[in-house]
Protein backbone atom coordinates (compact mmCIF):
# COMPACT_ATOMS: atom_id res chain seq x y z
CA UNK A 1 0.00 0.00 0.00
CA UNK A 2 1.36 3.39 -0.99
CA UNK A 3 1.53 5.85 1.91
CA UNK A 4 1.18 9.44 0.79
CA UNK A 5 1.38 12.67 2.79
CA UNK A 6 -0.59 15.64 1.48
CA UNK A 7 0.36 18.91 3.20
CA UNK A 8 0.74 22.65 2.74
CA UNK A 9 3.58 24.37 4.59
CA UNK A 10 5.12 27.83 4.69
CA UNK A 11 8.80 28.40 3.82
CA UNK A 12 9.57 27.87 7.53
CA UNK A 13 7.38 24.76 7.70
CA UNK A 14 4.37 26.25 9.52
CA UNK A 15 1.21 24.22 8.86
CA UNK A 16 -1.15 25.41 11.60
CA UNK A 17 -2.10 28.34 13.81
CA UNK A 18 -5.01 28.26 16.31
CA UNK A 19 -5.92 24.75 15.17
CA UNK A 20 -6.54 26.06 11.65
CA UNK A 21 -4.71 26.41 8.37
CA UNK A 22 -2.78 29.71 8.28
CA UNK A 23 -4.22 30.60 4.81
CA UNK A 24 -7.11 30.10 2.44
CA UNK A 25 -5.79 29.06 -0.98
CA UNK A 26 -8.68 27.82 -3.10
CA UNK A 27 -6.54 26.25 -5.83
CA UNK A 28 -4.57 24.37 -3.19
CA UNK A 29 -7.84 23.04 -1.74
CA UNK A 30 -8.78 21.89 -5.25
CA UNK A 31 -5.40 20.20 -5.60
CA UNK A 32 -5.86 18.52 -2.20
CA UNK A 33 -9.27 17.26 -3.34
CA UNK A 34 -7.87 15.95 -6.62
CA UNK A 35 -5.08 14.02 -4.90
CA UNK A 36 -7.21 12.56 -2.09
CA UNK A 37 -10.62 11.90 -3.71
CA UNK A 38 -11.71 8.28 -3.45
CA UNK A 39 -8.84 7.36 -1.12
CA UNK A 40 -8.82 6.87 2.64
CA UNK A 41 -7.64 9.95 4.54
CA UNK A 42 -5.88 9.30 7.85
CA UNK A 43 -5.54 12.13 10.36
CA UNK A 44 -4.99 13.04 14.00
CA UNK A 45 -7.91 13.95 16.23
CA UNK A 46 -7.08 17.68 16.21
CA UNK A 47 -7.00 17.86 12.42
CA UNK A 48 -10.40 16.16 12.27
CA UNK A 49 -11.73 18.69 14.79
CA UNK A 50 -10.34 21.57 12.74
CA UNK A 51 -12.02 20.22 9.58
CA UNK A 52 -15.28 20.09 11.51
CA UNK A 53 -16.84 17.41 9.29
CA UNK A 54 -15.75 14.32 7.39
CA UNK A 55 -14.23 14.93 3.97
CA UNK A 56 -16.82 13.69 1.46
CA UNK A 57 -16.19 10.78 -0.94
CA UNK A 58 -13.23 9.59 1.13
CA UNK A 59 -13.02 7.09 4.00
CA UNK A 60 -12.13 9.30 6.98
CA UNK A 61 -9.95 7.69 9.64
CA UNK A 62 -9.14 9.48 12.90
CA UNK A 63 -6.38 8.59 15.34
CA UNK A 64 -6.99 9.18 19.04
CA UNK A 65 -5.83 7.42 22.19
CA UNK A 66 -9.17 8.24 23.83
CA UNK A 67 -12.66 7.07 23.10
CA UNK A 68 -14.19 9.81 20.98
CA UNK A 69 -17.53 10.38 19.39
CA UNK A 70 -17.39 10.66 15.61
CA UNK A 71 -19.98 11.03 12.86
CA UNK A 72 -21.30 7.85 11.25
CA UNK A 73 -18.92 6.31 8.75
CA UNK A 74 -15.78 7.85 10.27
CA UNK A 75 -13.40 5.20 11.60
CA UNK A 76 -11.41 5.54 14.81
CA UNK A 77 -8.18 3.75 15.64
CA UNK A 78 -6.07 4.19 18.74
CA UNK A 79 -2.81 3.42 16.94
CA UNK A 80 -1.42 4.21 13.48
CA UNK A 81 -0.34 0.60 13.06
CA UNK A 82 -3.89 -0.67 13.64
CA UNK A 83 -5.22 1.76 11.03
CA UNK A 84 -2.60 0.66 8.50
CA UNK A 85 -3.27 -3.03 9.18
CA UNK A 86 -7.02 -2.48 8.70
CA UNK A 87 -6.43 -0.76 5.34
CA UNK A 88 -3.99 -3.43 4.17
CA UNK A 89 -6.46 -6.16 5.09
CA UNK A 90 -8.99 -4.39 2.86
CA UNK A 91 -6.54 -4.35 -0.07
CA UNK A 92 -6.24 -0.58 -0.10
CA UNK A 93 -3.88 0.67 -2.80
CA UNK A 94 -3.05 4.03 -1.25
CA UNK A 95 -3.65 5.92 2.00
CA UNK A 96 -3.36 9.70 2.30
CA UNK A 97 -1.96 10.88 5.62
CA UNK A 98 -3.27 14.43 5.96
CA UNK A 99 -1.96 15.67 9.29
CA UNK A 100 -1.47 17.26 11.52
CA UNK A 101 1.91 18.11 12.94
CA UNK A 102 1.99 15.34 15.53
CA UNK A 103 1.04 12.63 13.03
CA UNK A 104 3.49 13.92 10.38
CA UNK A 105 6.35 14.01 12.91
CA UNK A 106 5.59 10.51 14.22
CA UNK A 107 5.10 8.75 10.88
CA UNK A 108 7.10 10.58 8.20
CA UNK A 109 9.59 7.69 8.33
CA UNK A 110 6.88 5.30 7.05
CA UNK A 111 5.86 7.47 4.08
CA UNK A 112 6.57 6.74 0.38
CA UNK A 113 5.63 10.03 -1.26
CA UNK A 114 4.68 13.59 -0.34
CA UNK A 115 2.56 16.18 -2.10
CA UNK A 116 3.83 19.35 -0.46
CA UNK A 117 2.38 22.73 -1.31
CA UNK A 118 5.15 25.13 -0.40
CA UNK A 119 3.49 28.44 0.47
CA UNK A 120 5.88 31.29 -0.22
CA UNK A 121 5.79 33.14 3.08
CA UNK A 122 7.59 33.00 6.40
CA UNK A 123 5.16 32.96 9.34
CA UNK A 124 6.60 34.02 12.70
CA UNK A 125 3.53 33.02 14.73
CA UNK A 126 3.35 29.36 13.67
CA UNK A 127 2.23 26.80 16.25
CA UNK A 128 2.28 23.51 14.32
CA UNK A 129 5.10 22.51 11.96
CA UNK A 130 5.91 20.04 9.18
CA UNK A 131 9.22 18.22 9.74
CA UNK A 132 12.25 19.33 7.72
CA UNK A 133 12.73 16.99 4.73
CA UNK A 134 16.25 15.57 4.57
CA UNK A 135 17.77 16.07 1.11
CA UNK A 136 19.28 12.60 1.03
CA UNK A 137 15.90 10.94 1.72
CA UNK A 138 13.59 12.71 -0.75
CA UNK A 139 13.73 13.40 -4.47
CA UNK A 140 11.55 16.11 -5.99
CA UNK A 141 9.99 14.59 -9.13
CA UNK A 142 7.62 17.41 -10.13
CA UNK A 143 6.76 20.97 -9.25
CA UNK A 144 4.43 23.68 -10.49
CA UNK A 145 4.36 27.32 -9.45
CA UNK A 146 1.12 29.19 -8.73
CA UNK A 147 1.23 32.99 -8.59
CA UNK A 148 -0.40 35.22 -5.98
CA UNK A 149 -3.66 36.72 -7.29
CA UNK A 150 -7.01 38.11 -6.09
CA UNK A 151 -8.05 34.67 -4.76
CA UNK A 152 -4.67 33.71 -3.31
CA UNK A 153 -2.91 35.82 -0.67
CA UNK A 154 0.37 34.05 -1.25
CA UNK A 155 2.14 32.46 -4.18
CA UNK A 156 2.91 28.76 -3.76
CA UNK A 157 4.49 25.79 -5.48
CA UNK A 158 3.01 22.30 -5.71
CA UNK A 159 5.83 19.81 -5.15
CA UNK A 160 5.84 16.02 -5.45
CA UNK A 161 8.56 14.15 -3.57
CA UNK A 162 9.34 10.46 -3.67
CA UNK A 163 11.40 8.64 -1.07
CA UNK A 164 14.87 7.77 -2.34
CA UNK A 165 15.19 3.99 -2.13
CA UNK A 166 18.30 3.04 -0.16
Ligand X SMILES: NC(=O)c1ccc[n+]([C@@H]2O[C@H](COP(=O)([O-])OP(=O)(O)OC[C@H]3O[C@@H](n4cnc5c(N)ncnc54)[C@H](OP(=O)(O)O)[C@@H]3O)[C@@H](O)[C@H]2O)c1
Applying CB under 6 A, the residues found at the interface with ligand X are 7-8, 15-16, 19-21, 43-47, 50, 63-66, 78-80, 98-103, 106, 128
Nearer to ligand X, 50 or 92 (CB): 50
Cβ count within 10 A of residue 74? 16
Pairwise CA distance, residues 44 & 19, whole Å: 12
Nearer to ligand X, 54 or 101 (CB): 101
Residue 11 C-beta: closest distance to ligand X, Å: 13
Residue 72 C-beta: closest distance to ligand X, Å: 19
Following CA atoms 116, 121, 125, 130 in sequence, which dihedral angle do they give, to the nearest 10 degrees? 20
Which three-class secondary structure state does DSSP give residue 78?
A: coil
Nearer to ligand X, 21 or 111 (CB): 21
Amino acid sequence: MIRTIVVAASENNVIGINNQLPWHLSDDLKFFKKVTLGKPVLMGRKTFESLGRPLPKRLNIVLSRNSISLPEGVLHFSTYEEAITFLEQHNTEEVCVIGGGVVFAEYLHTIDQIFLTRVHTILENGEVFFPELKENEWQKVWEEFHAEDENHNYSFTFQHYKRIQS
